């Protein structure tokens, strides 16, 4: 992305160390700062949910650098639906995709599906690449508050509990991404 600040490898290494240790990180996305953690670390996910005051039954979003990072988590879709979803990525398009029951309940909540996105944000993509897989991604705000759009707002919301903040601009989208059903294309949350 032209004009985007240089992504510093040492920042990515620090964030990956935090993730590997069960930490929570904050990073810019297409519209807002996200809070993330290792999706397979149940304690980290529960800590993130407690910090946000978000109930587990709602489920979470996974972001990835590419579809290959998400594919092991997802059930097959009909070819036409799969093609539609993949054509929207990378970008600010979140899709609720069916999963097997093997996907942990702490990610999918009360659902048989999981919200997923291949991010277009260069720093978030580099973070997923450095980590080697998808990350939990939820807006960096306590439930009911406006999402953080700056590192300062992240610190104001969470003076303790976030282990690392990756600094960088959001990509300027007006609000959190639209969420659609991968099976039908129906809009579940306007963007």
- The Cβ of residue 143 has, within 10 Å, a number of other Cβ atoms equal to 11
Fold held by 9-189 = DHBP synthase (3.90.870)
Banded pLDDT at 178 (limits 50, 70, 90): confident
Q: What is the value of pTM for the model shown?
A: 0.93
Angle at 38 (CA atoms; ends 122, 85), nearest 5 degrees: 55
- For the chain, the structural domain boundaries read 9-189
pLDDT digits over 58-117, tens only? 999 999 999 999 999 999 999 999 999 999 999 999 999 999 878 999 999 999 999 999
Residues in contact with 161: Cβ distance below 8 Å, sequence separation at least 6, in sequence order: 24, 47, 51
Nearest C-alpha neighbor of 60 from the set 20, 18, 117: 117
Pairwise CA distance, residues 21 & 28, whole Å: 21
């Amino acid at each position: 992305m032209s004009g985007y600040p240089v992504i510093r490898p040492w920042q990515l290494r620090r964030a990956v160390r935090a993730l590997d240790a069960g930490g929570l990180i904050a990073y810019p996305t297409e519209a807002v700062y996200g809070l993330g953690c290792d999706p397979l670390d149940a304690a980290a996910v529960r800590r993130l949910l407690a910090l946000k005051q978000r109930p587990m039954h709602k489920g979470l979003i996974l972001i990835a650098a590419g579809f290959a990072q998400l594919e092991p988590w997802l059930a097959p879709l009909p070819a036409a639906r799969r093609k539609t979803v993949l054509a929207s990525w990378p970008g600010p398009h979140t899709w609720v995709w069916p999963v097997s029951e093997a996907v942990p309940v702490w990610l999918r909540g009360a659902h048989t599906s999981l919200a997923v996105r291949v991010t277009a944000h260069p720093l978030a993509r580099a973070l997923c690449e450095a980590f080697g897989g998808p990350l939990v991604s939820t807006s960096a705000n306590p439930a009911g508050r406006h999402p953080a759009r700056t590192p300062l707002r992240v610190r104001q919301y969470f003076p303790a509990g976030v282990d690392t903040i990756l600094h960088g601009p959001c990509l300027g989208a007006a609000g959190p991404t639209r969420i659609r059903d991968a099976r039908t294309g129906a809009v579940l949350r306007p963007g």
